[in-house]
Homo-oligomer: A and B are copies of this chain.
């Protein structure tokens, strides 16, 4: 269909254009008939311009406009005029003018959409996803996708400017050691063999350091076939970074530089220096390795208060290397027994034995366990938690990490109940460092690498790798924004002896190491530089920057929690012949 291409976008006309003949292309956003006049808001990605059909101005165009419906695609020619006094729309950038139409061409008609193309429309997410191409027309989705575009450009510009090299790594790779979650791709040319889609380009980026590229980055799709939680996608986007000849501080500097620019360009905020917490600090203060610092409440470890207690529960806990942790709920002293029961249930569901609570009175702690505590202990609790009359105190005790974690959950639950996170709260970014190198698995009764087996221990802890693995900290770090981990990384082991020690500590035999990590281990024998890196979860970061609660709001074509694309019905059955070619059949 022949049509005149636009002279201006729908977001462009201003009073300085008055009198100009223009051609606009766009979608009918809304249409109003006022007596003989037809007003149409014409929409494109750049904005909305009001166009006017008046029989006296052009009868043919006016008559043709009678057929227009919402979402029709049209091309119009007309003349820009000042809007009549009192009809200006200050909400629109083009709101001082409109266009008197003398020619209308309908480029395409449109059926009535399944939901109106506007924000705040009640529609099931399934319907939105089925008609994603219409959902994406809504202003909020346009805004999110444009913001994401901006983030891509900022990130790449930043790394380019800092001498990082963008390198693409393979998507069809070898199945990795954590293979159980790999998506597999049957090979047609090699019967019975499979490629795997990368869960991350970890091994490739380490190889690129061996290759001497020194600084690498890539914004890259990764894949994980896990049982999906609400906020996961089978394919997700990662900003992948690796550097040579550096220590942790170099990584921190580079990342802070990026975050400062993102804060400024996306949020127009100045990012203060990013605080650092060790894993132990974060756990003791916030009961989480990804604490939300928008909530100011802090947990307090009370072990020192009960060193000589006669209260058996605390005494036992201390003897067993457990922890006693307290949390102040300011002004909650009037919580009813019923409210306290609900909170007790909450912590029990997380695995706690029970919840100790205390109401702070003028000269007393009112609590079921008060009678077991000495006056010293009581006043010590009050001063440690900085409690005031009218406050409520919680205490949990038990095995350290588990108990801290539950108290961390209670902290967030209280923050919700007290509405402590305002929608305009300042965003809070922090580093968590010095993670444990190993994680004990109760089921298999062995240690696993918390990060991955190439993560370097803190050099001062190397000697404990055999004798006391639990005490060894890793040179690993996470970046946390508003309670979400948005990036994580580590300094890698580049030394063959240390790597051997690590495998030994993990109970991985030389043979197994060779089988699982052979080509990387081999590469390390030819001169590997000290190196480390980090990877950002781009989707989640975009979600937070967009102020959204689901990553699906910042992904153009997301999948559901069961990994289905409702729009095109993927995954789907395929032709038997195709499977034959791939040498596979369905069980």
Q: Which residues of A contact B (CB under 8 A)?
A: 1-3, 5-6, 25, 27, 43-46, 71-73, 75, 107-111, 113, 131-134, 136-137, 142, 145-146, 148-149, 152-153, 156-157, 160, 165-175, 179-180, 182-197, 203-204, 207-208, 210-214, 221, 223, 225, 227-228, 234-235, 237, 244-247, 250, 459, 494-495, 498, 519, 523-530, 555-557, 559, 562-565, 567-575, 578, 580-587
A223 to B148, CA, bound (A): 25
Q: Which of B71, B190, B212 contacts A27 (CB 8 A)?
A: B212
Q: Which residues of B contact A570 (CB under 8 A)?
A: 170, 172-175, 195-196
Q: Which of B180, B183, B204, B578 contacts A185 (CB 8 A)?
A: B183
Indicate if the CB atoms of A571 and B195 lie closer than 8 Å: yes
Indicate if the CB atoms of A172 and B559 lie closer than 8 Å: yes
A444 to B377, CA, bound (A): 92
Indicate if the CB atoms of A526 and B133 lie closer than 8 Å: yes
Indicate if the CB atoms of B197 and A185 lie closer than 8 Å: yes
Leading 4 A-B pairs by shortest Cβ distance = A110-B527, A136-B211, A174-B570, A193-B571
Q: Which of B72, B562, B578, B585 contacts A180 (CB 8 A)?
A: B578
Q: Which residues of B contact A172 (CB under 8 A)?
A: 183, 223, 234-235, 559, 563, 565, 570-571
Extra 6 A-B pairs, beta carbons < 8 Å, given A25-B244, A179-B574? A6-B245, A73-B529, A75-B245, A133-B208, A171-B223, A583-B587
Q: Which residues of B contact A247 (CB under 8 A)?
A: 5
Indicate if the CB atoms of A575 and B179 lie closer than 8 Å: yes
- Given known A179-B578, A529-B108, A573-B192, contact A250–B556 (CB-CB < 8 A): no
Indicate if the CB atoms of A133 and B210 lie closer than 8 Å: yes
A449 to B172, CA, bound (A): 30
For residue A209, which residue of chain B has the nearest CB? B133
Q: Which residues of B contact A237 (CB under 8 A)?
A: 168
A572 to B250, CA, bound (A): 37
28 contacts between A and B (CB under 8 A): A1-B495, A3-B530, A5-B246, A27-B212, A45-B165, A71-B526, A73-B530, A108-B529, A110-B527, A132-B211, A133-B526, A142-B212, A145-B213, A168-B237, A170-B235, A170-B557, A170-B565, A172-B570, A173-B565, A175-B570, A179-B574, A185-B197, A188-B225, A189-B563, A190-B562, A190-B564, A519-B569, A583-B586
Indicate if the CB atoms of B145 and A557 lie closer than 8 Å: no
Indicate if the CB atoms of B580 and A587 lie closer than 8 Å: yes
Q: Which of B46, B137, B211, B586 contacts A134 (CB 8 A)?
A: B211
Q: Which of B182, B212, B225 contacts A137 (CB 8 A)?
A: B212
Indicate if the CB atoms of B5 and A245 lie closer than 8 Å: yes
Q: Which residues of B contact A137 (CB under 8 A)?
A: 211-212
Indicate if the CB atoms of A526 and B111 lie closer than 8 Å: yes
A584 to B185, CA, bound (A): 12
Indicate if the CB atoms of B185 and A133 lie closer than 8 Å: no
Total identical chains: 2
Indicate if the CB atoms of B108 and A528 lie closer than 8 Å: yes
For residue A570, which residue of chain B has the nearest CB? B174
Indicate if the CB atoms of A586 and B586 lie closer than 8 Å: no
Q: Which of B73, B169, B578, B582 contacts A556 (CB 8 A)?
A: B169
Q: Which residues of B contact A148 (CB under 8 A)?
A: 166-167
Indicate if the CB atoms of A187 and B563 lie closer than 8 Å: yes
Q: Report the minimal beta-carbon distance from A567 to chain B, rounded to whole angstroms.
A: 6
A401 to B292, CA, bound (A): 69
A555 to B2, CA, bound (A): 42
For residue A566, which residue of chain B has the nearest CB? B519
Q: Report the minimal beta-carbon distance from A69 to chain B, rounded to whole angstroms.
A: 9
Indicate if the CB atoms of A184 and B582 lie closer than 8 Å: yes
Q: Which of B214, B225, B582 contacts A46 (CB 8 A)?
A: B214
For residue A529, which residue of chain B has the nearest CB? B73
Q: Report the minimal beta-carbon distance from A473 to chain B, rounded to whole angstroms.
A: 16
Indicate if the CB atoms of A168 and B221 lie closer than 8 Å: yes
Indicate if the CB atoms of B153 and A167 lie closer than 8 Å: no
Q: Report the minimal beta-carbon distance from A274 to chain B, rounded to whole angstroms.
A: 21
Indicate if the CB atoms of B149 and A167 lie closer than 8 Å: yes
For residue A539, which residue of chain B has the nearest CB? B168
Q: Which of B173, B207, B214 contacts A45 (CB 8 A)?
A: B214
Q: Report the minimal beta-carbon distance from A553 to chain B, rounded to whole angstroms.
A: 14
A250 to B25, CA, bound (A): 15
For residue A583, which residue of chain B has the nearest CB? B587
A273 to B64, CA, bound (A): 42
Indicate if the CB atoms of A184 and B574 lie closer than 8 Å: yes
A207 to B133, CA, bound (A): 6
Q: Which residues of B contact A214 (CB under 8 A)?
A: 44-46
For residue A107, which residue of chain B has the nearest CB? B530
Q: Which residues of B contact A25 (CB under 8 A)?
A: 244-245, 529
Q: Report the minimal beta-carbon distance from A127 to chain B, rounded to whole angstroms.
A: 13
Q: Report the minimal beta-carbon distance from A462 to chain B, rounded to whole angstroms.
A: 10
- Given known A195-B570, A569-B174, A571-B194, contact A189–B562 (CB-CB < 8 A): yes
Indicate if the CB atoms of A165 and B185 lie closer than 8 Å: no
Indicate if the CB atoms of B494 and A108 lie closer than 8 Å: yes
Q: Which residues of B contact A133 (CB under 8 A)?
A: 207-208, 210-211, 523, 526
Q: Report the minimal beta-carbon distance from A284 to chain B, rounded to whole angstroms.
A: 29
Q: Report the minimal beta-carbon distance from A425 to chain B, rounded to whole angstroms.
A: 29
